[in-house]
């Protein structure tokens, strides 16, 4: 996370201005902020292109060649009321007509709407974004700045929109260990947290140790990827390695902006419902990471015919989808509600049969119910599997603490099982919190994958005193009480 208190204060101020300016829905506020940040970056990138072409003595066609009045540097200097009208009527129309000329984010802008209601709010927001000097910050700071802005979703928690805790995402990424040259996907990407953490993990694995720097939360910085000698591989990582899908157009815009500010210039974040009949991608990705929406259902008429499971429950369909999206040998880590692990319906059991009989089910990490507070108290687990292979034994881990309090406040605590999970993962060790279960035992239990089914409860033997000894103690105590009562009576009679 960003270390500069000055930048944090400016981001906090930007948020406060939107809140007090009448945009109290956090998702709407962040969306409108994203538009403004993108407009600033659009001119910064255009200026960089002009300068680069000049150095190489080549031609460069500016995005603003015919629309110079749409440059940030032009309209940000206009008087308040004039600026508001200009941005709403001209600048946004300019963005919607750019089409695919710059990035997928620009394409997402085609159905975007500018709803900042007050000239004073726009002026204040523009000033704060100017003061952030986004173009002068390195990728680490730009990405951290936007992540810090997105963290407001955690405190606001409106409209059911919330982010997967970043420390949980980092744990899942380490478990599947995405590598350079692999394709990574999130079929319900939201703010793209899984994708940019996978990107960071790949860069961290390919950056010299003497260059790396870690902040207080253990997040790596200075990720230059200097060990990637093949430029084609580095270009693949930046352009084709990461793909995200979401059926909420607002989230695709926010997710795309998040990747852009983390160094992905042309993020592949696509607006689509991956459970619907329109989506037919199959066996493309080496790694899938996801926290798909659950406790929901889909219109039966719109369910893709690819699914073998006879259900409308999204938490089950998404896991079958993830299985379909993986190439043979591909790996996945996905968050599921506990009910997926022990549900008794035919669909629940059939899904677990896919994980065990058609995959190498590697691990189930049971998480405490407070992980998603303050917006949800549901118990969840992380399921890690590899498509193909043979399930021999399944590693279970009973996570009891994740480094934060399990109440609505989610304050930092010392208790944290995540380092232990990562350390024991490759060796699949037994411990007080983990165990290995033979697949035969799992099948005998109707493919039940809840840790409580297999975790042996150790009963502590208590030694009781013999009855005659207890009776002697009781009689002795009674005599002492009678004696005390007699003494009190005598004291009172003397008075």
Instruction: Determine the pLDDT at residue 457.
Output: 65
pLDDT tens profile 211-256: 998 887 788 888 999 999 999 999 999 989 999 999 888 889 889 8
Number of alpha helices (DSSP H) and beta strands (DSSP E) in the chain: 20, 13
Instruction: Determine the pLDDT at residue 120.
Output: 94
Instruction: Determine the pLDDT at residue 63.
Output: 86
Instruction: Determine the pLDDT at residue 157.
Output: 44
This prediction has a pTM of 0.85
pLDDT tens profile 342-378: 999 999 999 999 999 999 999 999 999 888 887 777 8
Cβ pair 175, 334 in contact under 8 A: no
Q: Which segments within 109-266 are labelled E, that is strand?
A: 184-186, 213-214, 220-221, 242-246
Beta bridge partner(s), residue 287: 184, 331
Q: Tokens representing 52?
A: 């680069």
Give how far Cα 158 sits from Cα of 152, 194, 377, 400, Å. Answer: 10, 21, 15, 27
Instruction: Determine the pLDDT at residue 21.
Output: 87
Which domains can be identified in the chain, with CATH numbers?
5-153 (1.20.1260), 157-454 (3.40.50.150)
Cβ pair 262, 196 in contact under 8 A: yes
8-state DSSP, 64: T
Q: Measure the CA–CA gap between 373 and 162, rounded to whole angstroms.
A: 10
First-to-last C-alpha distance (Å) of the chain:
75
Instruction: Determine the pLDDT at residue 139.
Output: 74
Q: Measure the CA–CA gap between 8 and 3, rounded to whole angstroms.
A: 8
User: What stretches in the chain show pLDDT beneath 70?
Assistant: 1-4, 99-104, 154-162, 295-297, 457-462, 494-495
Give how far Cα 247 sits from Cα of 108, 109, 293, 362, 424, Å. Answer: 12, 15, 11, 30, 36
């Amino acid at each position: 996370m960003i270390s500069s208190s000055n930048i944090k204060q400016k981001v906090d101020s930007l948020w406060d201005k939107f809140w007090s300016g009448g945009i109290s829905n956090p998702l709407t506020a962040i969306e409108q902020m994203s538009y403004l940040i993108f407009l600033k970056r659009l001119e910064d990138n255009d200026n960089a292109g002009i300068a680069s072409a000049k150095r190489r003595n080549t031609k460069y066609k500016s995005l603003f060649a015919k629309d110079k009045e749409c440059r940030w540097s032009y309209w940000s200097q206009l008087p308040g009321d004039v600026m508001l009208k200009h941005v709403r009527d001209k600048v946004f129309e300019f963005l919607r007509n750019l089409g695919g000329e710059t990035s997928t984010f620009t394409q997402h802008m085609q159905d975007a709407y500018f709803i900042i209601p007050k000239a004073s709010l726009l002026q204040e927001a523009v000033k704060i974004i100017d003061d952030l000097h986004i173009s002068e910050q390195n990728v680490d700071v730009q990405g951290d700045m936007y992540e810090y802005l997105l963290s407001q979703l955690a405190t606001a928690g409106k409209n059911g929109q919330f982010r997967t805790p970043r420390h949980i995402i980092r744990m899942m990424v380490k478990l599947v260990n995405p590598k350079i040259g692999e394709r990574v996907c999130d079929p319900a990407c939201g703010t793209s947290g899984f994708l940019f953490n996978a990107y960071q993990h790949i860069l961290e694995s390919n950056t010299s140790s003497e260059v790396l720097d870690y902040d207080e939360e253990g997040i790596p910085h200075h990720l230059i990827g200097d060990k990637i000698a093949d430029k084609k591989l580095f270009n693949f990582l930046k352009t084709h390695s990461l793909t995200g899908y979401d059926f909420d157009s607002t989230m695709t815009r926010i997710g795309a902006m998040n990747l852009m500010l983390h160094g992905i210039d042309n993020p592949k974040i696509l607006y689509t419902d991956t459970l619907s009949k329109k989506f037919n991608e199959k066996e493309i990705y080496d790694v899938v990471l996801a926290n798909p929406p659950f406790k929901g259902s889909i219109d039966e008429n719109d369910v893709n015919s690819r699914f073998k499971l006879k259900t409308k429950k999204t938490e089950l369909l998404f896991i079958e989808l993830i299985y379909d999206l993986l190439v043979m040998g591909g790996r996945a880590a996905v968050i599921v509600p506990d009910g997926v692990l022990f549900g008794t319906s035919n669909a629940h059991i059939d899904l677990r049969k896919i994980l065990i009989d058609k995959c190498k089910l590697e691990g189930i990490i049971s998480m405490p119910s407070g992980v998603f507070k303050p917006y949800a108290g549901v118990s969840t687990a992380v399921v890690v599997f590899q498509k193909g292979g043979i399930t021999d034994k399944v590693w279970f881990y009973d996570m009891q603490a994740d480094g934060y309090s399990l109440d609505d406040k989610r304050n930092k605590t010392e208790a944290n099982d995540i380092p232990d999970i990562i350390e024991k993962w490759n060796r699949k060790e037994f411990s007080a919190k983990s165990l290995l279960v033979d697949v035969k035992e799992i099948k005998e239990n109707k493919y039940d994958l809840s840790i409580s089914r297999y975790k042996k409860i150790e009963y502590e033997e208590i030694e009781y005193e013999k009855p005659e000894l207890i009776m002697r103690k009781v009689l002795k105590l009674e005599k002492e009480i009678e004696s005390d009562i007699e003494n009190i009576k005598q004291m009172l009679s003397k008075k």
